[in-house]
Amino acid sequence: MGRKSIVINLSAEEREYLETQTRARTIQAQTVNRARILLLKAEGCPINEIADKVGINRKSVMLCLNKYAEGGVENALFDAPGRGRNAEITDDEKAWIINIACQKPIDFGYAAETWTYAKLTSHINKNAEAAGFTRLSTIHKSTVHSILDEAEIKPFRIKYYCENRDPDFESKMHNVLLVYKQLSMQFDKNGQFIPWEEDKQAIHMLSYDEKPGIQATATTSPDLLPDENHSTISRDYEYKRLGTVSLLAGIDLQTGEAIPLISETHNSKDSIEFLKVLDSKYPKGDKIRLVLDNLKVHTSEVTRKYLSTVPGRFEFVFTPKHGSWLNMIEGFFSKMTKQMLRGIRVKTKEELKERIYKYFDEINEEPVIFHWKYNLDDIDVSEEVIVDTLSAKKSS
C-alpha cells in the first residue's frame, strides 16, 4: 500500500511568517527553500513540481515535509539545536564580499572603474554559488552595505593622494624652510624689516610661480543685478570663450609687494622676461633669490643662456617635486582666485589683462608681508642655503 500523502494546512500567521522568510536576504538559502516548499505544498503542488520550482531534488522536498509533519513549521525550517545553527552571515562569507569590494569592477570584466552597491550586490548574487557561498546568492544590497560599512570599506569613493616621486624631497624641503627661517630673522619683534648692513650684499627674496591658462570668457547677455525680487546676480548659463593668458608673478617676501607679468604664452621666454623685470627693479649688485618649482622653463637652455649674461644676479631655490605647497605665492594665487578671478566675465582678452594688473595695483596699495610659520623650530639658521645659478649647468 502507498504511503499517505502529507497535507499542510497553514494558519494565516504561519503563511505570513513563511512568506517573510522567502523575501529575506540575510538568511541561509536552505531556509528560504524550505519556506517555499511548505508554501507550495500548502497550495496543493505535487512533490515533483515542488522540486522543479525550488530547484532541488525530490528527496530534499520529502525530508522537509517529514520534518514539518514531525514538529511543525519551525522544525521544518531549521535544523535541530544539537546540530548547531550557523551564523546568518559567516566571517568567511563576509571576507569574500570584502575581497570583491576591494578590487575594481574592471578586474571582473565590467566597464566601470568603481563599484556601486547595486552592481556589487548583483555580482555577488551571480557568483556566490560557484564560490561555495550559496546563501549569498540572495543577499540584499542593504546587507552588503552594512558589511562594508562595518569594515569601513567604501568601494565607490576615490581619495586622491600625491605619490612622492622626488628622492631629494626632504633635503629640498629643508632648504626652502631654511630660506624662510633666515628670512624671519630679518624682522624685528614688531614685524619691521631690518635693513641690510652697508658692508653686506643685499639679498632680495621672492616667492615666484606661474598661473597659466586663465580663461577670458564673455557673457552672451548682460548680467541681471540684484533687486527687490532677486537677492543675487543672475547670469545666462551660456558664455563665449575668448582665449587664455598666463600670469607670472612674484611676491617680495621682505616688502610684500606683488610683481606681475601677463603673457599670451607659457614658455622659457616668458620666464626670462620676468627675470628682466626683476633685474630692472632691484639695485644692481644686489642678489635676487627666488623660491620656485623645478619646471622645465626655469632650467631650459635659453634660460641658462640669459642667466650667464647676468652672473651672480639670480639665485634659485627649488621646491621639491609635488611640493608646491612650500611656495608661499600659492596662497596668494588662491586668494586671487577667490577675490577676483572666480566668476569673472570680460569683453576682450585685453580687458582681462587690465583687470589683473589693476588687482595687483590694489594689493600693492597695502601690501601684506607673508610669513612662513610651519615646521621652522628645528631649522638651524647657521646652515647655508643651497642655491642654484644654473649658468654653468646642463638642463636636467
Domain assignment of residue 31, given as a range: 12-83
Residue 379 counted as domain residue = no
In terms of phi and psi (left: phi > 0; alpha: psi -120 to 50; beta: otherwise), the region of 285 is: left
Question: Do 71 and 103 fall within a single domain?
Answer: no
Q: Name the domain count of the chain.
A: 3
Spatial contact of 138 and 25, defined as CB atoms under 8 Å apart: yes
Q: Are residues 295 and 279 in the same domain?
A: yes
- E strands present in the chain: 203-219, 239-252, 258-263, 287-292, 314-318
Same domain flag for 146 and 177: no
Residue indicated by cell numbers 626632504: 170
Instruction: Give residue 242's pLDDT.
Output: 95
Does residue 376 lie in a domain region?
Answer: no
Contact 271, 298 (CB under 8 A): yes
Tell whether 139 and 247 lie within a shared domain: no
Residues 225 and 359 placed together within one structural domain of the fold: yes
Instruction: Identify whether the C-beta of residue 155 lies closer than 8 Å to the C-beta of residue 102.
Output: yes
Which residue, 63, 83, 103, sits at the end of a domain?
83
How confident is the model at residue 396, as a pLDDT?
A: 42
Give the Cα separation of 249 and 181 in Å (integer): 22
Q: What integer pLDDT is reported at residue 25 of this predicted model?
A: 66
User: Do 190 and 339 fall into the same domain?
Assistant: yes
> Residue 105 falls within a domain, yes or no?
yes
* 47 and 183 both lie in a single domain: no
Residue ranges of the chain with per-residue pLDDT less than 70? 1-5, 25-27, 80-88, 391-396
Burial class (CB in 10 A: 0-12, 13-18, 19+), 393: exposed
pLDDT of residue 137: 80
Backbone angles phi, psi at 349, to 5 degrees: -65, -35
The pLDDT of residue 81 is 54
Note whether 21 and 79 are same-domain residues.
yes
State how beta strands 203-219 and 258-263 pair.
Answer: unpaired
Same domain, residue pair 22 and 119: no
Domain assignment present for residue 306? The answer is: yes
The Cα 154–Cα 156 span in angstroms is 6
Q: Which residues of 19-51 are buried (b: 16+ CB within 10 A; e: fewer)?
A: eebbebbebbbbbbbbbbbbbbbbeebebeebb
In a domain, 7, yes or no: no
Asked whether residue 233 falls in the same domain as residue 331, the answer is: yes
**Which DSSP category does 234 fall into?**
B
Rounded to the nearest 10 degrees, what angle do helices 117-127 and 91-101 cross at?
130
202, with CB counted inside 10 A (0-12, 13-18, 19+), is middle
CATH number for the domain spanning 332: value is: 3.30.420.10
Q: What is the pLDDT of residues 304-339, one digit of tens each?
A: 999 999 999 999 999 998 888 899 999 999 999 999
- Locate cell 570583491: which residue? 100
Q: Can you give the pLDDT at residue 391? A: 61
Same domain, 140 and 181: no
Nearest-10 Cα torsion for 101, 102, 105, 106: -170
Asked if residue 206 and residue 242 are part of one domain, the reply reads yes
Where helices occur in 310-373 by DSSP H, the ranges are 329-336, 349-365
Q: What's the pLDDT at 395?
A: 43
Put simply, whether the predicted model's pTM sits higher than 0.75 gets the answer no
Q: Which of residues 53, 83, 113 is at a domain's end?
A: 83
Domain edge (last residue) among 52, 83, 114: 83
